[in-house]
Structures are given as structure tokens and as C-alpha cells.
Amino acid sequence: MSSACCSNGMACFKPRLEVNSTAGKATNSVSLRRTHNFTAFGKQNLFGGSRFVSFSTFGSQCRNRAKFSPMAVGVRGKEGKPITRAESEESAKGKKIMVIGGDGYCGWATALHLSKQGYQVAIVDSLVRRLFDQQLGIDTLTPIVSIQKRIKRWNQISGKQLDLLVGDICDFDFLAEAFKSFEPEAVVHFGEQRSAPYSMIDRGRAVYTQHNNVIGTLNVLFAIKEFSPECHLVKLGTMGEYGTPNIDIEEGYITINHNGRTDTLPYPKQASSFYHLSKVHDSHNIAFTCKAWGLRATDLNQGVVYGVMTPETAMHEELINRLDYDGVFGTALNRFCVQAAVGHPLTVYGKGGQTRGYLDIRDTVQCVELAIANPANRGEFRVFNQFTEQFSVNDLAKAVTKAGEKLGLEVRAISVPNPRVEAEEHYYNAKHTKLTELGLQPHFLSDGLLDSLLNFAMKYSDRVDMARIMPAVSWKKIGVKPRTDASEVKL
């Protein structure tokens, strides 16, 4: 096994060293489409050509080479045998993967990872996530550049081409053109409004979230049926679909013995925001189309993702991933690290006993790759629980406090009134063996990762808007009046 971050003829980033990223030659890596829905990107590169970039915090993640090698994971064939890395790269070569939502937090990291693995990747994105930031007056901690610049830089660094199709999958004419022109063999679908608090801001956002997510996914299902019936849908669901039942959570299905009879049925869903509910709706819709039309799909019920860097996003500052810390899009752990870095108390909602599944973003990209390399069968609706460890919010607060103190930060956690409606103390035991069986090599939460993430947050701490850290949306207070002013979006 080799370390993906320091090989392959790409710029090698050593811990805490300045690195000159001049590998690759600039070419126009973006396909311009003539369809009216596709937006051409600007050709200027405001940051100029190659430049020195300090990615000092990446070092601590890179030290454990065995862990940090998503390229080296065993991908198993239908016979269940792990295939070699060479075989994996061979099978990836040229395989066309459409990454819907490829400009987002998980999507961007995944698109680059798949591109590096040899897949031919097209990003489909409406870029509306960037509009949400503008409308709410929030911003990623990290200074991300435009998708067009990102793609150009990736081409310069890696020599790989990424297609970009800018449009809304709720617009079927656009999506149909995208399918017909790109002819994907797999579609990775991250293209949804992904924030529970956003879906609870006001009626408009609740309706937007369910419409956008449910209809967008319906359109993807129809596009696959019509244009690429062999195409494998890899859909991002969420562990939040299950809620917090008092029994073990299984992966998608549960065998029930009832009144002397037995059946294996979809696991009951108890989602707790309009966002989480939209994913429940998607899961039901996808399951039906697998049965009725023989589509092949994998629903990745993902836990809360933390971390910001993958080997690919770390290659250049213009490839940097977004990192949300605000009360609407920020998620636990990432938000705690930013809070610790800027001297803001860690905001534990309520009692802090809320337990969920978590995973490193480097495992997100691994899991998606594993799903693609081991596709579902025709007619199969497969569900994987995509996380590596369970933590309570209090567990995370303690870990961040400890890691922060090691770096000389004064960290304290406070309990704030829980803006959500959720159990704050509950049983939680969710299974997650299917991806491990396919070869997932987890990056467990480590002091190194926390140290890296805290350093990262400290580096960009001047970009933090302290007024945006507190929880901003109440599950109970949501109303029908549109909250048009960003300043209104607070408790």
C-alpha cells in the first residue's frame, strides 16, 4: 500500500512545508455545452498561475500513512475477493461518473477523489449552495474559489479533466441534456439542500427543501430509466432518516417477527426536520423505481461528516474544500473546532446526550468509491449506513476541549437551549458493516485529526463572523412569514 497524498507524480505536500504546486499545465478542463442551461465559466484566473501555498495543518493527517490511503482500499468483485489497487484503477479507467452537487462540501471532495482514481467525472451543480451563503449573509471558513477556477486548477495540478454542467436537476430539460451528452455509468447524487436548520427557517425554505430534493431525485430516476438504464445511482441519504429508535438500527431493512410470521421490511423512518424527511421520501421513491423499473441504486445513509481535507483538496489552496461553522450549515465537530479556535464557547444543544454516527470526509470519498466499484444489481435497492464511529455531542465537546488545550487554547463548552426537537438522552446503536465488508479502511477520530482541524480553523480564524456561530433556527418557532433579512435568521 502506498500513500495517496505523496505519490502519483503530483505535487507532494510535506508536513508544515511551503510547497510549490506547479505540476500540470493549464488547459481548459471544462466542457462548454451549447444547451441554454449550461453556463460558461470565466477564463480569468484572479490568483494567477502557480503560487506558494502553505498547507501546514495537513501534516498531522498525513503522518499515518496506513490510514490515509483511500486509493489503496480493497475493492471487492462480485465474488467477494478484494481486487488489487492496479485492478481497481483499471476498472475505474474512463468509467463515467456524474457527480451531482459536485461543488459542495462532500461533492467536491468526491469529484476530485474519483477523478484522481481514473474515473471520468462530470460535475452537475446549480451552484445554489453559494447563493444560500449570499442570501443568509454567511460564508465558509475557507476561501473557496469559483467552481470554474477550482476545475481549472485541478486540471493544472493533476492533468485530469473534470466536466462541468451548470444547471438545476429540477429542470428536466437540463438534466436530460446532461445525461444524453455525458452518458454516465454511475451517478453520485449529492445535489440536495442538505441543512436541517435551513429547512426549518420558514415555510418557504421547508417547501423549497422538499420540492428541490424530492423532485430533483425523481428527475434523476426518470433520466436513468430513459437514458442510462444500466446506470448505478449512488444516492446520499442520511442516518437521520432513522431517528433515534429504542432498538438497534439496521442497514436499511429489518427482519420482523410478528404474530407468528416473518418478513424483512424497510427499516421504519422517524426523521426530525423537513430536510431529513426529504431524504426519507427519496429513499421510498428510489426503492419503488428499483422494484418497478429494475433500476440499480445504493442509498448511503451517511452520518455527520467532519474534517475538511482530502489528499486531493490539499494539493492547492484553490482546491480547498468549504468548511461551514455557522448555525445553519455548520455541523457538530467542525463547528466545535472553529468555536475553539476563535475562543467561542462550544455550543452543546441541551443535555448533549444526542448520539449520532460520524465519519471523516476522507471516508466519505472512500465509501462512494466503494459503492461505485461494487455496483448494486439491476432491481436492487441497497442501503449502507455510512459512518465509522458513534459519538454523543458531549463526547465531541470533551474531545475538542482536550485537543484545544493541548494547542494552548482556552476551551469551554456551554449548554444552549436546544433549537431542535430531539431526544437529548437515548439509546443508539446503529449497524455499519456493509461498507467495511466492501473494504472500507476507516479514519477514526484521532488527536491528529483534531489537531489538524483546529490548526486549520486557527489559520482562517480572521474569516469567522462571531455573530453567525450560535444556533439560528428554531424547530418550534418556524412560521409562514418569509425571513428575507439575513439578520432575522436567529433564535
Nearer to a second copy, 281 or 351 (CB): 281
Nearer to a second copy, 295 or 308 (CB): 295
Q: What is the per-residue binding string for a second copy in 179-208, x denoting contact by CB under 8 A?
A: ------------------------x--xx-
Residue type, 93: K
Interactions with a second copy, residue window 432-491 (CB under 8 A) = 475-476, 478-480
Question: 372 and 188 in contact (C-beta within 8 Å)?
Answer: yes
Nearer to a second copy, 272 or 347 (CB): 272
**215 scored as a contact of a second copy (CB under 8 A):** yes
Among 154, 274, 306, 391, binds a second copy (CB under 8 A): 274
Confirm whether 238 is a catalytic residue: yes
**254 scored as a contact of a second copy (CB under 8 A):** yes
3-state secondary structure of 161: coil
Confirm whether 279 is a catalytic residue: yes
Choose the stretch contacting a second copy; rule: CB under 8 A; options: 84-92, 218-226, 347-355, 448-456.
218-226
Residue type, 34: R
The three cell numbers of residue 143 are 476561501
Burial class (CB in 10 A: 0-12, 13-18, 19+), 21: buried
Among 158, 273, 298, 452, binds a second copy (CB under 8 A): 273
**257 scored as a contact of a second copy (CB under 8 A):** yes
Number of residues that bind a second copy (CB under 8 A): 54
Residue type, 48: G
Among 256, 414, 466, 467, binds a second copy (CB under 8 A): 256
Shortest Å distance, C-beta 37 to a second copy: 16
Nearer to a second copy, 257 or 487 (CB): 257
Confirm whether 331 is a catalytic residue: no
Q: Which long-range contacts (CB under 8 A, 24 or more apart) does 54-58 make?
A: 54/18, 54/19, 55/13, 55/19, 55/309, 55/314, 55/317, 56/15, 56/16, 56/17, 56/455, 56/459, 57/309, 57/452, 57/453, 57/455, 57/456, 57/459, 58/5, 58/13, 58/15, 58/309, 58/314, 58/452
Q: What is the per-residue binding string for a second copy in 151-180, x denoting contact by CB under 8 A?
A: ---------------------x---x----
Residue 355 phi/psi, 5-degree rounding, is -110, 135
Give which of 47, 40, 67 is closest to 320, Cα–Cα.
47
Instruction: Quickly tell me which residue has 424527511 as its cell.
Output: 277
Q: Which residues contact 31 (CB under 8 A, 6 or more apart)?
A: 122, 163, 164, 165
**291 scored as a contact of a second copy (CB under 8 A):** yes
Nearer to a second copy, 172 or 349 (CB): 172
Q: Which residues contact 400 (CB under 8 A, 6 or more apart)?
A: 333, 336, 337, 340, 346, 411, 450, 454
Among 17, 414, 421, 467, binds a second copy (CB under 8 A): 421
Point out which residues bind a second copy (CB under 8 A): 172, 176, 203, 206-207, 210-211, 214-215, 218-219, 222-223, 225-226, 245-248, 254, 256-259, 261-263, 265-274, 277, 280-281, 284-285, 287-288, 291-293, 421, 427, 475-476, 478-480
